[in-house]
Amino acid sequence: MASWTPLARVSDCPPGTAKELVAGDRVIALFRVDDDTFCALDGVCPHQGGPLGKGTLDGCVVTCPWHGWQFDVCTGENQINRQIVQPWFDVRVEDGWVLIDLERP
């Protein structure tokens, strides 16, 4: 069962940007890919713990600011090794807020 938690105001997330946020006991990397597309990953890079929410977003790919690992922000797939999949979360927009379902993954 989904448990939707307010994560950020839509107005605080310009298209093409990444944001590091805390929800519950998790660090979340929130990405606004375009006007209508929000994606959220576990914000801790699986390489050495870098902050994916402070990475650079290019299209739907984020580059970790520490050593450059890249992930599809909508699927979590590492762009070099597809065996590595960063945990991702369902998000939706409601009444000007981005909501996240922390029950997943």
Instruction: Confirm or reject binding of residue 67 to ligand FES (CB under 6 A).
Output: yes
Residue from the set 9, 47, 92, 104 that interacts with ligand FES by CB under 6 A: 47
Terminal-residue alpha carbon distance, the chain: 12
As to burial, measured by CB atoms within 10 angstroms (0-12 exposed, 13-18 middle, 19+ buried), residue 96 is exposed
Smallest gap from Cβ 91 to ligand FES, in A, equals: 22
Instruction: Confirm or reject binding of residue 64 to ligand FES (CB under 6 A).
Output: yes
At 52, give phi and psi (nearest 5°): -65, -30
Smallest gap from Cβ 13 to ligand FES, in A, equals: 22
Query: Residue 8 or residue 45: which is nearer to ligand FES going by CB?
Result: 45
For binding to ligand FES (CB under 6 A), which residues are involved? 45, 47-50, 64, 66-69
